[in-house]
Amino acid sequence: MSAIVEARASIPRENARGLEADARRERISMFSLCTPSLLVVALIVFLPVGWLFWLSFFDPAGQPTLENYARMFDSRAYIKTFTMTFKVSFMVTGVCVLIGYPLAYLISQLPARAAGVCMVFVILPFWTSLLVRTYAWLVLLQRKGIINGWLIDLGIIDEPLRLVHNFTGTVIGMIHILLPFLVLPLYAAMKSIDRDYLKAASNLGASPVRAFWQIFFPLSLPGLFAGVVLVFVLCLGFYVTPALLGGGKVHMWAMRIESSVNLYANWGAASALGVVLLVVTLVLLWGLNRLFGLDRVYSGR
Amino acid sequence: MAAGSQSLPITISGVTKAYGALKALDDVSIDVASREFITLLGPSGSGKTTLLMVLAGFVRPDYGSVKFGDEEVITKPPHRRDVGMVFQNYALFPHMNVFGNIAYPLKLRNVPRPDVEQRVERALDLVQLGGLGDRGVDQLSGGQRQRVALARAIVFEPRILLMDEPLSALDKKLREQMQIEIKHLHEKLDMTIVYVTHDQREALTMSDRVAVINHGRFMQIDEPKRLYGRPLNRFVADFIGESSFLPVSVQDGVARLDGTELKLDGRPASDSERQLLVVRPEKLEVLENGQGGDLNCLTGTVSDLIFQGESFLFYVKIADGTVIAVRSPSRRESIAAVPGVGEPIRLGLHPEDTIVVPENP
């Protein structure tokens, strides 16, 4: 034993330099493997966003201006669009939670086979075109549509309800399209809750109702937040459904961007709207992160 | 810790639970005395955990009766049974810290806040985690989690405590330390403990009595010493400790091995004709020539010799070709007696250690 110790001491820091250089070479070569993906990210994310940002400071004549931003605070139409976007987003997110939470809970408690079948029905709409689904709602909800027809035939109402070409129709259509985005992360979070937690709660004296609210619900919150963030952020930039089901009465942010480009050919104004939407979304995510810790949300803990 | 509560006896009778054709519990009956530490010991799939879950109320048996004291609890939901339980994976709530976890059962019982703090602190001291109340669950080591789970299960002073393989996730050293701690805790607390494990050494270390279970039936219920020294059947002899088995024939209470009468301490427990001699490695003595007149003798040749530190393990091939294991402590005087491989050897077995058991019932 002592002979080994002596032998080691006789050669001071053998190969130390060579090993250090080797480690440096490895770091550099490993990092260089990332360059293709970094280039792609730069090309399809930072370049267009930067271009957008740049454009937003020019008027249609190509002169530098801040008017595109100033307009958002002055023009009533812009402010109305802004509030409408948030109204729709909150409404859709809220109803999605009310429908989605019990749905995800139900599926998470079903035996594996039944849960699989139910999940197919949740995911099925994903495989159908957004446009087709939105037009289908038009057929269902219109004045002489199926729903009004049934309600009148059953004698529940005399006059057809105004279900579409307004706020209601927009919200119904968007809920249908966005619900899976809430249910999927929520279901995954619920599935990962160990049933032993509920057993333990019950063993310690918690009635099923208390065990749900004190143990299951708090543990499902990260999944719920993930779903809420997804749905809300998607709502903010939604275009097709409000354009078709809103009947021109529901002006969303994305529609304002579209009209700036197509109607007024004002790229500067459209860019400024895009930048503001991006900033609002980022601020929202930052705020949620501060409040609930989104890193925990995405790691599913 | 016991103020108002008093530990309760448990009476289980005729409990049966079938999953399809498989009977997880087959007409199981046992009386557990108040304050007793009883261990359900068996291989995986033997029904030991199912029985514990029946006691906790998580598994509904097909029929049978479970009484805590005089009260029939078989249809009582788990949250009204008032029994503490330590889960195999601890099941500590990840969204609460240590204090929150231990205080949870007290809050459910509407204990006033100052009392809660006092009792949680006392429970933490009891499991030697004093001052760790504000730690997060994920900041704890495996051993600490185990202690928190234990504290949570006893803080509300249940009269019965159930433990489902609570030490199986710990390393050997910590496990042995916790075994002693739990044993001491049981002496301090006024609780009847039902403990489930597949580790026979753990069962022998901790329990007042051990119930060996296999295929949903009790094989033997006895004190650790009797269970080891007087197994009732092959399963128990095989499951507890190491054993070699040699066939013997029994007639009129006399057991014969290869025609030689075995000296027994009493009569064989069973009357069946074909039985087995249970040979524990450490019960055999290596005999010098002419020694061992009052012992049962076996002769053979050494086929293998293994040095294991604290002991020698050697395998001896006896006359009929069976190989039996012999363990001899590595002490000065016994090292001298250990023969080399291939040499003939005589082994002696004291009549008190000579156990004859029937094949499995």
Q: Do A204 and B56 touch (CB under 8 A)?
A: no
Which chain B residues have a beta carbon less than 8 Å from that of A207?
79
**Interface mutation target, options A203, A209, A292, chain B, most CBs of B under 10 Å:** A203
Pairing status of strand B209-214 against strand B10-19: unpaired
pLDDT of residue B1: 40
pLDDT of residue A301: 39
User: Hey, which residues does B148 pair with through a beta bridge?
Assistant: none
A183 has a chain B CB within 8 A of its CB = no
Q: Do B104 and A208 touch (CB under 8 A)?
A: no
Which chain A residues have a beta carbon less than 8 Å from that of B156?
204-205
Q: Do A204 and B82 touch (CB under 8 A)?
A: no
B108 has a chain A CB within 8 A of its CB = yes
Which chain B residues have a beta carbon less than 8 Å from that of A218?
95
Q: Do B85 and A203 touch (CB under 8 A)?
A: yes
Which chain B residues have a beta carbon less than 8 Å from that of A225?
none
Confidence band for A171, pLDDT divided at 50, 70 and 90: very high
Confidence band for A9, pLDDT divided at 50, 70 and 90: low
A208 has a chain B CB within 8 A of its CB = yes
pLDDT of residue B217: 93
Give residues with Cβ within 8 angstroms of B352, minimum separation 6.
Answer: B265
Q: Is B322 exposed, middle or buried, given 0-12, 13-18 or 19+ CB atoms closer than 10 A?
A: middle
Q: Average per-residue pLDDT in chain A?
A: 87
pLDDT in tens, chain B (361 residues): 434 457 899 999 999 999 998 999 999 999 999 999 999 999 998 999 999 999 999 999 999 999 999 999 999 999 999 999 999 999 999 999 999 999 999 999 999 999 999 999 999 998 888 888 889 998 999 889 999 999 999 999 999 999 999 998 888 888 888 899 899 989 888 899 999 999 999 999 999 999 999 999 999 999 999 999 889 889 999 999 888 898 888 887 788 888 788 888 777 767 777 888 999 998 988 887 777 778 888 888 999 888 888 888 889 998 888 899 998 888 777 777 777 888 888 888 888 888 888 876 5
Which chain B residues have a beta carbon less than 8 Å from that of A214?
104
Please tell me the distance from the alpha carbon of residue B227 to that of residue B200, in angstroms, as a whole number: 11
Amino acid at B298: L
Q: What average pLDDT does this structure show over A17-44? A: 92
Q: Do B91 and A197 touch (CB under 8 A)?
A: yes
Task: Tell me which residue in A203, A210, A301 faces B78 most closely, judged by beta carbons.
Answer: A203
Please tell me the distance from the alpha carbon of residue B188 to that of residue B168, in angstroms, as a whole number: 24
Q: Tell whether the torsion through CA atoms of B122, B128, B134 and B137 is positive or negative.
A: negative
pLDDT of residue B65: 95
Please tell me the distance from the alpha carbon of residue B214 to that of residue B230, in angstroms, as a whole number: 18
Q: Name the range with the highest mean pLDDT among A56-60, A288-292, B135-139, B289-293.
A: B135-139
Count the neighbouring beta carbons within 10 Å of the beta carbon of residue A55: 17
Outline where chain B has alpha helix (H): 48-56, 98-108, 113-126, 142-154, 172-188, 200-206, 224-229, 234-239, 332-337
Q: Tell whether the torsion through CA atoms of A132, A134, A138 and A140 is positive or negative.
A: positive
pLDDT of residue A206: 94
Cα angle A145, A151, A152 (rounded to 5 degrees) comes to 90
The DSSP-derived string for A254-293 is HHHHHHHHHTT--HHHHHHHHHHHHHHHHHHHHHHHHHH-
Distance from CA of A291 to the nearest CA of B (A): 16
For residue A299, pLDDT beyond 50: no
User: Hey, which residues does B276 pair with through a beta bridge?
Assistant: B247, B357
Which chain B residues have a beta carbon less than 8 Å from that of A210?
108
B85 has a chain A CB within 8 A of its CB = yes
Confidence band for A11, pLDDT divided at 50, 70 and 90: low
A224 has a chain B CB within 8 A of its CB = no
Task: Among A108-117, A141-150, B64-73, B215-224, name the one with the lowest average pLDDT.
Answer: A141-150
Q: Name the range with the highest mean pLDDT among A72-86, A138-152, A277-291, B222-236.
A: B222-236
Pairing status of strand B37-41 against strand B209-214: parallel
0.85 surpassed by complex ipTM: no
Task: Enter the pTM of the model.
Answer: 0.81
Whose tokens are 């792609």? That residue is: A40
pLDDT of residue B3: 43
Task: Tell me which residue in A196, A204, A210 faces B89 most closely, judged by beta carbons.
Answer: A196
Please tell me the distance from the alpha carbon of residue A228 to that of residue A185, in angstroms, as a whole number: 10
Structure token digits, residue A25 = 């070479």
Q: Do A206 and B82 touch (CB under 8 A)?
A: no
